[in-house]
A = this chain, B = another copy of it.
Amino acid sequence: MTVASYSPGILPYIPFFYVIWSDDLLSASEIQVVQTAIAADPSLVPEDKAQLLNWLDKANPPKNGEIKSWQQLISNSGVALVESETHPLEAFAMKVAQFYNGAEGHNPQLQTIERNLGIQPNHYNHLFHVEVVHQPFATTYDGKTLDALLNAKGWEVLLEFRKFLQQAPFTWSIQRDKTAFRQLVLDQLLVLAKSGWGAYAYPSANGGKEDLETYASIFEHLVFVDGSLAVKFGVQFGLFGGSIQNLGNPSQKEQYLTAAGNATLLGCFAMTETGHGSNVRGIKTTATYLHEERCLVIHTPGTNDNKEYIGNALHATMATVFAQLLVNGKNNGVHAILVPLRDANHEELDGITIEDNGYKLGLNGVDNGKIWFNQVKVPVANLLDHYGGIDEQGNYHSKIKNANKRFFTMLGTLVGGRICVAKGALAAAKMALTIAVKYGLQRRQFNDNIKIQEDLLMDYPSHQLRLIPKVASCYVYHFVLQRAMQEYAGNTSDDKRKIETQVAGLKAIISWFATEAIQESREACGGKGYLLENQIADLKNDSDIFTTFEGDNTVLLQLAAKGVLSDFNSEFNSGGFSSVLRFLGTQLSDRFTTINPAYVNKVDSAHLYNPKFHLHALDFRLRRLTYSAALRIKNYIKKGIPSYQAFLKTQTHILELGKAYSDVLAVKWYYEKLEHLPEDSYRSLLYQLGALHSLAMIRANATWFLEQGYLGGTKSKAIRQRVERLSTELRPHVNALVDGFGIPEQQLAAPIAN
């Protein structure tokens, strides 16, 4: 076929059809975009339209010879593509047409196609001769606008805080020696405390603003500065101060909380024991009440019963100690007691032994230590007795009669800390991804021809697939954790079990996500990512423990699953399993929608991008796993298998259930957030990110969906392709997306990110 055979109307469509048919990915709705544009194009005569529509027939696609001839036609024109054009492909196509027929101008319909199909320069990077230097990224979206969108709540305060962080003590540097590092972090902490940042969540009477949400954002920003600082900050103000705020009485708050907030009183949170990490109810430290002296005797009974891994242990002068409270020979369960650790000369008090935990994989700026108590007496007034105390007659009293419920209510007040851990993990992921993305937009490797500039790493599909879905997940999880903190801060009842369970699951999936994202970031930067100067290494090591502390992820997911199985309406988290059993019946009555066979293989992009599909799929998984887990457990019980054994036998199933619950919760909260945003291009972008995250999540569980017959093979493949394609479509915006994380410039010290 010769050029002469194409009419002037058809000619500018040739490059478009070449790009379109070089991949066979056009879905029905996308074909419609092109059809509509063709129908509306006044430059086309009816024969042209018929010809073009004919080329859109997926059942009878253009022959290879024809496609090849298009390529020759384009190539013979000698026209080069200018990427800086607003519609580069349309502009290019018009110049190719001009070469053959001399006509000038622009074609709005082609611009529509280019825009609506999301055709990006990286779709045709190597197809055409490109004139200017490849643009590493587009400027369609503005990072600052995204930043303001993500951090709308407390935005002004955050801007102020970012400015505050420009001070010298917060400049990032490599630290190897733990003594010097701990001193540096302590100094930073004092600077923060002095300016009131530590007390942000406390009542105004104690120097605070009663703003837990902004406190969480401050915490997140401290991860950008240094993981050790964030953790030390969390221990002092969140855990130690928080225990006084949540478990103490008014006079205790007056006496200690203000001092904790301005860091004139340094404290630690002594819960974990060497022998008991996850199983807090099993801790062995005792607090025995002596009525004659109106005091509590704090004691470490056995060799493995010392407090372990206690942050701030070397700097603190006081500790909130968790111990079994024994009154008149009766154990009233775990309670918290303020125990002075050191005197004015910073010497350990009588009966107290503190040892350094030594070097760790990360967080070496935090002084973790072990603490032993040998018959240490403290006045009974030091018992944090908001939920349980000892009266003047020496009798125990509590407004919560049930011991299990009391225990979990006390622990429930620590949910805020768990949200912060998840936020911290996410912050580390954001920063590592930002560094990897910035590097991928500069670093070049390989090409087909040694004479042409090598390709940017970010232009490799495998590189896009490894980083961009994770950037999308950061957006999802950011809003999700914001919502979690809002729910928690807004919940004024003592019963925080539902939000506690939700946070448990979210903390698990988000901290695991962070570990994975940071690992990918390190590898994506190759050897450069391995150098400490490029910051990913510290982010990796510091955040690694986030999957373990404030609740081991495996334990947390089981907690979440138990919540689901008992429909959150029992004391499901009481430690034993039998309480869950009573509620299993409820779960067994759940009805299932029959999956329409057409739905099982529905691959249209409009369907695959639809939040309804994402929520339906993830929710189906949750309900089906709930049903089958409940059924399995019931069946074991019916055979006389003890309930604990029944839970053990279904443990891996239960873990999946905990994950499934958290996955769907995250996507649900994210889309609920988007519903309330103004309808603009940024919201569209956020929907695209949601689709990428959700499809990647469905893809990660595709084996299960296929086994259940929820997905057919065709749809499963289509989802994989969509994940790749969305990553490619978002590629030009990835710089704006990571700028949106709002990491202060001075904190992003990695040379490869600059």
Q: How far is the CA of A493 from the CA of B113 in the complex (A)?
A: 57
Asked whether A676 is an interface residue with its Cβ less than 8 Å from the other chain, the reply is: no
Q: Name the residue on B nearest A554 (C-beta).
A: B462
Least CB distance from A714 to B in Å reads 8
B707 and A707 contacting across the interface, CB-CB below 8 Å: no
A359 and B23 contacting across the interface, CB-CB below 8 Å: no
Size of the chain A interface, CB-CB below 8 angstroms: 93
B308 and A527 contacting across the interface, CB-CB below 8 Å: yes
Q: Name the residue on B nearest A444 (C-beta).
A: B275
Contacts of A461 in B (CB 8 A): 648-649, 651-652
Query: Which of A414-422, A543-551, A562-570 contacts the other chain?
Result: A543-551
Q: Name the residue on B nearest A62 (C-beta).
A: B639
Asked whether A746 is an interface residue with its Cβ less than 8 Å from the other chain, the reply is: no
B532 and A359 contacting across the interface, CB-CB below 8 Å: yes
Contacts of A530 in B (CB 8 A): 360-362, 544-545, 548
Asked whether A702 is an interface residue with its Cβ less than 8 Å from the other chain, the reply is: yes
Most buried by B among A177, A523, A638: A523
B554 and A655 contacting across the interface, CB-CB below 8 Å: no
A361 and B541 contacting across the interface, CB-CB below 8 Å: yes
User: Which chain A residues numbered 40 to 81 have a C-beta less than 8 Å away from chain B?
Assistant: 64, 67-68, 70-72
Partner of A68, one of B361, B462, B638: B638
Q: How far is the CA of A447 from the CA of B643 in the complex (A)?
A: 11
Contacts of A537 in B (CB 8 A): 360-361, 541
Asked whether A586 is an interface residue with its Cβ less than 8 Å from the other chain, the reply is: no
Q: How far is the CA of A707 from the CA of B540 in the complex (A)?
A: 35
Asked whether A29 is an interface residue with its Cβ less than 8 Å from the other chain, the reply is: no
Asked whether A204 is an interface residue with its Cβ less than 8 Å from the other chain, the reply is: no
B309 and A272 contacting across the interface, CB-CB below 8 Å: no
Least CB distance from A515 to B in Å reads 7
Query: Which of A277-285, A287-295, A590-598, A608-616 contacts the other chain?
Result: A277-285
Least CB distance from A147 to B in Å reads 29
Partner of A527, one of B272, B531, B713: B272
User: Which chain A residues numbered 665 to 717 have a C-beta less than 8 Å away from chain B?
Assistant: 699, 702-703, 706-709, 713, 716-717
Known contacts A446-B279, A450-B282, A526-B552; is-contact A645 B716 (Cβ 8 Å)? no
B576 and A548 contacting across the interface, CB-CB below 8 Å: no
Known contacts A282-B450, A533-B358; is-contact A527 B547 (Cβ 8 Å)? no
A71 and B640 contacting across the interface, CB-CB below 8 Å: yes
Asked whether A620 is an interface residue with its Cβ less than 8 Å from the other chain, the reply is: no
Q: How far is the CA of A481 from the CA of B530 in the complex (A)?
A: 26
Interface string of A1-29 (1 = CB under 8 A from B): 00000000000000000000111000000
Partner of A717, one of B174, B576, B707: B707
User: Which chain A residues numbered 492 to 532 have a C-beta less than 8 Å away from chain B?
Assistant: 515, 519, 522-523, 526-527, 529-532
Most buried by B among A449, A577, A642: A642
Q: Name the residue on B nearest A537 (C-beta).
A: B361
Q: How far is the CA of A642 from the CA of B124 in the complex (A)?
A: 11
B703 and A709 contacting across the interface, CB-CB below 8 Å: no
Q: How far is the CA of A652 from the CA of B636 in the complex (A)?
A: 44
Interface string of A428-469 (1 = CB under 8 A from B): 000000000000000001111110001000011110010000
Contacts of A548 in B (CB 8 A): 523, 526-527, 529-530
Least CB distance from A41 to B in Å reads 25
Asked whether A126 is an interface residue with its Cβ less than 8 Å from the other chain, the reply is: yes
Partner of A576, one of B448, B553, B577: B448
User: Which chain A residues numbered 165 to 189 have a C-beta less than 8 Å away from chain B?
Assistant: 174, 176-178
Least CB distance from A661 to B in Å reads 17
Asked whether A226 is an interface residue with its Cβ less than 8 Å from the other chain, the reply is: no
A639 and B716 contacting across the interface, CB-CB below 8 Å: no
Asked whether A739 is an interface residue with its Cβ less than 8 Å from the other chain, the reply is: no
A126 and B640 contacting across the interface, CB-CB below 8 Å: no
Least CB distance from A48 to B in Å reads 22
Partner of A644, one of B64, B126, B547: B126
B639 and A67 contacting across the interface, CB-CB below 8 Å: yes
Asked whether A191 is an interface residue with its Cβ less than 8 Å from the other chain, the reply is: no
Interface string of A342-382 (1 = CB under 8 A from B): 00000000000000011111100000000000000000000
Contacts of A68 in B (CB 8 A): 638-640
Asked whether A641 is an interface residue with its Cβ less than 8 Å from the other chain, the reply is: yes
Asked whether A127 is an interface residue with its Cβ less than 8 Å from the other chain, the reply is: yes
Asked whether A125 is an interface residue with its Cβ less than 8 Å from the other chain, the reply is: yes
Q: What 6 A-B pairs come out closest when comparing CB atoms?
A: A448-B644, A71-B640, A126-B645, A361-B537, A68-B640, A706-B706
> Known contacts A126-B648, A127-B645, A462-B652; can you find 12 more A-B pairs with CB under 8 A?
A22-B641, A176-B176, A276-B445, A360-B532, A361-B532, A460-B648, A462-B554, A523-B547, A526-B548, A702-B706, A706-B706, A706-B713
12 contacts between A and B (CB under 8 A): A278-B445, A278-B446, A281-B450, A359-B531, A360-B532, A361-B522, A447-B644, A459-B648, A527-B548, A541-B541, A699-B703, A707-B716
